A and B are shown apart, each in its own frame.
Chain A
Amino acid sequence: MSSSGKAGAPQPPAYPIKLSTKSSASMVANNLTVSKHHLAYSHGNKAILIEHEHNGLLGDGKLRVSRIPVKSADVGDLITQVKYCRFSFGTALVMTSQHGFVHMYDEAGLKLLNYFQLPKPEDSSQPTRRMHGIASDGVSRLIVGSSTGELYVFTAQQGQISLDRTLSSVHKTPVYCISTSADFVSEGVGGDEGGGAAEGEGEAKSNVFCSVDDEGQVAVWDLATLECKHVFRDKNKQPAYTLAVFGNWCIVGTSTGHVRFYNLAKNFLQMEVAAHSRLISAMDIDAAKRTLVTASEDTWVNVFRLPSKASPKIESLLSKRVPSCILTGVALCGKDKSLIGMTAYDTRYLRVMPLDGGGLTSFNPK
């Protein structure tokens, strides 16, 4: 009750709100992934799954948290990345580990469908190869990166994975992130606005995947033939830990806080945004709204409107600080992808805020 005696409208919370998961996020890049019913991130040697019902992430629904340990024969193995991947048989949760494991679970994390482990080096003094970087073509191909720079291409059918090919011609340093043209395809968006093509920049690329390593080198591959089509090199050889293929662009988040847009149709660096003051750890895209969200270890989240034929400039929509949070993961989630979910190193919360930073016109308290 206010001092005037009239009942006041419920106040919206201070965003981001914190949803306790009791398990902290690891300091690994791209440490939050989302599916239709779950969010997931890595905590040491476990994957943390959060099941969310409609609006549960705003605190007025149920939030169920489960923990899945990595099934590794090696004590001390740690998860390097978890990612939801779509295949023709359904959505699977894929995990990679320090000791060369790839695990594939069902979406709810209840059943281990299959796993693969890289053979250990014959020379025992050599380190085990770390797996990092996960992507799928949306049908039956799973691609995983490694600390040697090799990419492992698997066929994934009915939950079973088998190694198809190893690509070792390009990266010679650890690969950190992989993305395919199937990652950010918007349903129902077609024609000239589909897939990121801006005026005069050529047709949107499809059927490609990109990989980035710790020298900032970005390789562009043909998904069908698995041939490397082009390599973008960073003259400063600064590592990059996150990238996304969206239509005509390969968008790379660098360790220097820059977001780079490489045009895949004409093979050139098209735009660069000085978005953060520290390394960019994760990104997500809503293809329908053409929004890009970036999260960084500088504790800030940025939201940009991506260029289109109608509006060829990139536009900053939001910059929000998440105090004392070394952000490690970001994902657009909730109804219509209207929420930003975030994880931060060493904090036991999933943080959530609306895409506009908190300007809700209505709020339904629990």
Chain B
Amino acid sequence: MSLLSMPFLIINFGGEMIYVLEQRLHAQNIPKDKSNKVLQDVTRAMFSPKFIQELMKPQEIYSPSSTREIFDRLAHSSIMRLSESSMDKLYDLMTMGFKYQLVSCTHPRELAEVTLNHLDAIRTAVSTSDSTVEQVDAAIAQFVKLCKELSSAEFAQIRQTLAAFFQDKRIKVSLFLQDNIQNPDGTIALTKGGPIPNDATLEAPGAIRYYENGSVTATEKFDSPLTGTIGEQLAGDVYDPKARDSKLGKNLYTIDRKKPDAKKTPAAKPSSTASSTTTSTQKLKENKGSAVPELNALRELIGGGGANDFKITNLFGDESGGDGAGAKNRDIVINKVERATLLGGIEEEFSKLGGDSSAKDLGDLYDEIAGN
């Protein structure tokens, strides 16, 4: 197992959390000032220098229950209070979102692109606060430095470690089923073909080469069905957001097109086997008492929310059809929103705030809790 998986796990999970919170806060008609504050607070907690420093240390990957604890604390490091059911669903969406991206990578190094796409999106989401952006930029710099030191084999090990973390996680998400990202059984759908990743050692299948004295003496071709499905080789730059090849890690919950006709969109049906849809969160709770106590250093670095908390009983209320025990046994229903709607809200709020006083107050609060 790789000792460098934690940054990839936490940052990508964090990115997915920001995406879902953005979409859900908008869908729940939470006032813009509060929505923006939530995103700022969560981001500041996740990208605090101490947290990032601890995250970047070589360490065994956390257990699913410990990872969940981190995100429980992160979600509640803001003024928002989520019900347990909402937090369960939020975490499940984060899980399936990142699992899809992990499994869909065509090259181990693409994990770096996925993570950087998340980081760039987080940066955009908190762009109204210079201090928060500064924290995110510092984390990006550290992450880029880490990636540049990793070999292909080390990326492959990281991917394998993360794959073990996500094994058997199969919560069905209506949007993923609709977009054919997920198969009906909850596994991730893989597309065939596509471009060759940006790696000079890779080529499309079909060639057979014969060597003598280190030189090619003959080349033949065999008919590979893959041949017609393989595109041109990519030539982007992992570290340049404008030239990055991978689209994985971008927001799955926004669209730049019209919503599909409701008649054509298959409705996500509640799973007939309830246990399969709540495998991840229910099992985490069942195993909490029996797991070996782990020094969850990351969790301890996250401060709590401030005064004037607002509670969200059901973050997924309007689309999931209710809260409570019954909702736990349903697939997760979530729709996309227009990207412009979300971005427009941020700019509007910035102009209303006229400054960054709320971030400063929260920063002081965090420092106080962290004991600085």
CB within 8 Å of B: which residues of A? 24, 26-28, 44, 75-76, 78, 98, 127, 130, 173-174, 214-215, 236-239, 255-257, 268-279, 298-300, 313-316, 319, 321, 323-326, 345-347
In the bound complex, do residue A321 and residue B103 qualify as a contact, i.e. CB atoms below 8 Å apart? Answer: no
Q: Nearest Cβ distance between residue B214 and chain A, in whole angstroms? A: 7
Q: Which residue of B lies closest to A269 (CB)?
A: B211
A268 and B211 in contact, given A326-B190, A346-B187 (Cβ under 8 angstroms): yes
In the bound complex, CA of A271 to CA of B209 (Å): 6
Task: Say whether B292 faces chain A, with CB atoms less than 8 Å apart.
Answer: yes
In the bound complex, do residue A274 and residue B205 qualify as a contact, i.e. CB atoms below 8 Å apart? Answer: yes
In the bound complex, do residue B106 and residue A278 qualify as a contact, i.e. CB atoms below 8 Å apart? Answer: yes
Which residues of A lie under 8 Å from residue B220 when comparing CB positions?
A: 313
In the bound complex, do residue A78 and residue B204 qualify as a contact, i.e. CB atoms below 8 Å apart? Answer: no
A26 and B167 in contact, given A268-B213, A299-B190 (Cβ under 8 angstroms): yes
Which residues of A lie under 8 Å from residue B170 when comparing CB positions?
A: 346
A271 and B211 in contact, given A277-B230, A324-B187 (Cβ under 8 angstroms): yes
A78 and B164 in contact, given A130-B1, A319-B224, A319-B226 (Cβ under 8 angstroms): yes
Among B103, B202, B223, the residue within 8 A (CB) of A256 is B202
A324 and B211 in contact, given A214-B153, A274-B203, A316-B224 (Cβ under 8 angstroms): no
A277 and B205 in contact, given A27-B167, A76-B63, A319-B224 (Cβ under 8 angstroms): yes
Which residues of B lie under 8 Å from residue A271 when comparing CB positions?
A: 208-211
List 18 A-B pairs, Cβ < 8 Å.
A27-B160, A28-B160, A76-B292, A214-B151, A238-B153, A239-B153, A255-B153, A256-B203, A271-B209, A277-B226, A278-B106, A316-B224, A319-B223, A324-B190, A345-B167, A346-B167, A346-B188, A347-B187
Which residues of B lie under 8 Å from residue A256 when comparing CB positions?
A: 199, 201-203
Q: Which residue of B lies closest to A237 (CB)?
A: B151
B residues 200-232 near A (Cβ < 8 Å) are 200-214, 220, 222-226, 230
In the bound complex, do residue B103 and residue A326 qualify as a contact, i.e. CB atoms below 8 Å apart? Answer: yes
B residues 9-59 near A (Cβ < 8 Å) are 58
Q: Which residue of A lies closest to B2 (CB)?
A: A127
CB within 8 Å of A: which residues of B? 1, 3, 58, 60, 63, 103, 106-107, 151-153, 156-157, 159-160, 163-164, 166-168, 170, 183, 187-190, 192, 196, 199-214, 220, 222-226, 230, 292
Which residues of A lie under 8 Å from residue B206 when comparing CB positions?
A: 274
Which residues of A lie under 8 Å from residue B152 when comparing CB positions?
A: 237-239, 255
Which residues of B lie under 8 Å from residue A214 when comparing CB positions?
A: 151, 153, 156-157
Which residues of B lie under 8 Å from residue A300 when comparing CB positions?
A: 225-226
In the bound complex, do residue B211 and residue A270 qualify as a contact, i.e. CB atoms below 8 Å apart? Answer: yes
User: Can you add 8 more A-B contacts, CB < 8 Å, to A257-B205, A276-B205?
Assistant: A26-B164, A27-B163, A278-B106, A298-B226, A319-B224, A319-B225, A324-B189, A326-B190
In the bound complex, do residue A27 and residue B210 qualify as a contact, i.e. CB atoms below 8 Å apart? Answer: no
Which residues of B lie under 8 Å from residue A313 when comparing CB positions?
A: 208, 220
Which residues of B lie under 8 Å from residue A316 when comparing CB positions?
A: 222-224
Which residues of B lie under 8 Å from residue A274 when comparing CB positions?
A: 203-208
Which residues of B lie under 8 Å from residue A269 when comparing CB positions?
A: 211, 214
The interface centre, meaning the residue of B60, B106, B153, B230 with most chain A CB atoms within 10 A of its CB, is B153
Which residues of B lie under 8 Å from residue A324 when comparing CB positions?
A: 183, 187-190
In the bound complex, CA of A346 to CA of B183 (Å): 13
Which residues of A lie under 8 Å from residue B226 when comparing CB positions?
A: 276-277, 298, 300, 319
Which residues of A lie under 8 Å from residue B153 when comparing CB positions?
A: 173-174, 214-215, 238-239, 255
In the bound complex, CA of A114 to CA of B157 (Å): 29
In the bound complex, do residue A272 and residue B188 qualify as a contact, i.e. CB atoms below 8 Å apart? Answer: no
In the bound complex, do residue A75 and residue B292 qualify as a contact, i.e. CB atoms below 8 Å apart? Answer: yes
Among A78, A255, A346, the residue within 8 A (CB) of B168 is A346
Which residues of A lie under 8 Å from residue B3 when comparing CB positions?
A: 127
Which residues of B lie under 8 Å from residue A346 when comparing CB positions?
A: 103, 163, 166-168, 170, 187-188
Which residues of B lie under 8 Å from residue A277 when comparing CB positions?
A: 106, 196, 202, 204-205, 226, 230
Q: Nearest Cβ distance between residue B224 and chain A, in whole angstroms? A: 6
Q: Which residue of A lies closest to B210 (CB)?
A: A271
In the bound complex, CA of A76 to CA of B211 (Å): 46
In the bound complex, CA of A269 to CA of B220 (Å): 16
In the bound complex, do residue B164 and residue A27 qualify as a contact, i.e. CB atoms below 8 Å apart? Answer: yes
Q: Which residue of B lies closest to A272 (CB)?
A: B209
In the bound complex, do residue A44 and residue B211 qualify as a contact, i.e. CB atoms below 8 Å apart? Answer: no
In the bound complex, do residue A78 and residue B1 qualify as a contact, i.e. CB atoms below 8 Å apart? Answer: yes
In the bound complex, do residue A24 and residue B168 qualify as a contact, i.e. CB atoms below 8 Å apart? Answer: yes
Which residues of A lie under 8 Å from residue B189 when comparing CB positions?
A: 324
A268 and B168 in contact, given A214-B153, A277-B205, A277-B226 (Cβ under 8 angstroms): no
Q: Nearest Cβ distance between residue A170 and chain B, in whole angstroms? A: 16
Which residues of A lie under 8 Å from residue B207 when comparing CB positions?
A: 273-274
In the bound complex, do residue B106 and residue A272 qualify as a contact, i.e. CB atoms below 8 Å apart? Answer: no
Q: Which residue of B lies closest to A44 (CB)?
A: B167
Q: Nearest Cβ distance between residue A266 and chain B, in whole angstroms? A: 10
In the bound complex, CA of A311 to CA of B198 (Å): 36
In the bound complex, CA of A347 to CA of B186 (Å): 10
In the bound complex, do residue B202 and residue A279 qualify as a contact, i.e. CB atoms below 8 Å apart? Answer: no
